[in-house]
Copies of this chain bind each other. A is one copy, B any other.
């Protein structure tokens, strides 16, 4: 249920409505839009009918039932697109934001070379895994805190923001010390302990769709983070698992405009995992821009054939440069800026 306040509603009227919501057994979430304030009444209170009585409370314009199981992240609750901020960077606004970097942080040289190159080409965020969720225990598991330190060093050298994956609730505080954006990988999209902890983090979260998750489940996972207190969430389509084996995953690009209808959160696309083949990353990136994504996250490596993970889908530095050039040709048609 959401309570839309009149545009001239006073603070004490808002406060009064929140008090009543609590009395009825729900939790109020106040969303301050540009034109007016909307209050979500979330939870499993036992007085659903009583909420309707708020219709007559002073300052209330309307009381609307949200039919979808996701509430705080829904477009019903907040019709305008949200802009997520990481320092001076805005995701979900006019800028089409490209995040790029290696699958794994491997060495200082590899990371710095990549960071400088993607910065020059127009990336705004450096990606790189320090904690790697790998299918086999015998595969490289990441440099862990050492990797985080290298990422922080790359930020200092280049001014890029840092996005990196956190794989367990226990690591959230540590990773948040170094990263600007905390990434939840596909395998952890329904790691609810992690999602709850991220609800307390003071960093934006980039939430990847699980490999067999519906868009509705993705939004419910975002709702976990939001309902635990952190509404700074970026959704990420990264391909789903299907019977097709010619590509690593099936990139569900139509999910982008679909999520746009369902949610106010920004949406980025990961064509590297979404296709798993270097030669498909450029066309898929262009399509992602044109279909309405707010940005991309791309794997780039100075020497993909030597990469410790995901070599076949990693772009070379010059390949990334070419993609940025291509994207710039299309961006203005979408009324988007690219750095």
Chain A contacts to B: CB under 8 angstroms: 42-44, 69-71, 133-138, 167-171, 187-188, 190-194, 210-212, 214-217, 220, 223-224, 227-228, 240-247, 250-258, 261, 271, 274-275, 277, 279-280, 283-284, 286-292, 329-330, 333
What B residues does A211 contact at CB under 8 A? 212
What B residues does A42 contact at CB under 8 A? 138
What B residues does A216 contact at CB under 8 A? 246
Known: A217-B135, A220-B135, A291-B283. A243 touches B246 (CB 8 A): no
What B residues does A242 contact at CB under 8 A? 240, 242-243, 250
Known: A167-B193, A188-B191. A284 touches B212 (CB 8 A): no
- For A223, the closest partner residue in chain B by CB is B137
Query: A192 near B133 (CB under 8 angstroms)?
Result: yes
Q: Give the CA-CA distance A246 to B259 in the complex, in Å.
A: 10
What B residues does A291 contact at CB under 8 A? 283-284, 286-287
What B residues does A252 contact at CB under 8 A? 244, 250-251
How many copies of this chain are found per oligomer?
A: 4
What B residues does A170 contact at CB under 8 A? 169-170, 193
- Closest 7 A/B residue pairs (Cβ): A212-B212, A168-B193, A287-B287, A187-B190, A287-B291, A257-B283, A137-B224
Q: Give the CA-CA distance A39 to B192 in the complex, in Å.
A: 38
Closest Cβ–Cβ distance, residue A290 to chain B (whole Å):
5
- For A189, the closest partner residue in chain B by CB is B187
Closest Cβ–Cβ distance, residue A137 to chain B (whole Å):
4
Closest Cβ–Cβ distance, residue A330 to chain B (whole Å):
6
Known: A43-B138, A133-B192, A192-B167. A245 touches B245 (CB 8 A): yes
- For A193, the closest partner residue in chain B by CB is B168
Query: A240 near B246 (CB under 8 angstroms)?
Result: no
Closest Cβ–Cβ distance, residue A131 to chain B (whole Å):
8
Contact of A137 among B136, B227, B257, B277 (CB under 8 A): B227
Contact of A215 among B169, B210, B246, B279 (CB under 8 A): B246
Query: B167 near A168 (CB under 8 angstroms)?
Result: no
- For A191, the closest partner residue in chain B by CB is B191
Query: B227 near A254 (CB under 8 angstroms)?
Result: no
What B residues does A136 contact at CB under 8 A? 69-70, 220, 223
- For A239, the closest partner residue in chain B by CB is B254
Q: Give the CA-CA distance A191 to B247 in the complex, in Å.
A: 24
Query: B214 near A245 (CB under 8 angstroms)?
Result: yes
Known: A136-B223, A137-B224. A240 touches B244 (CB 8 A): yes
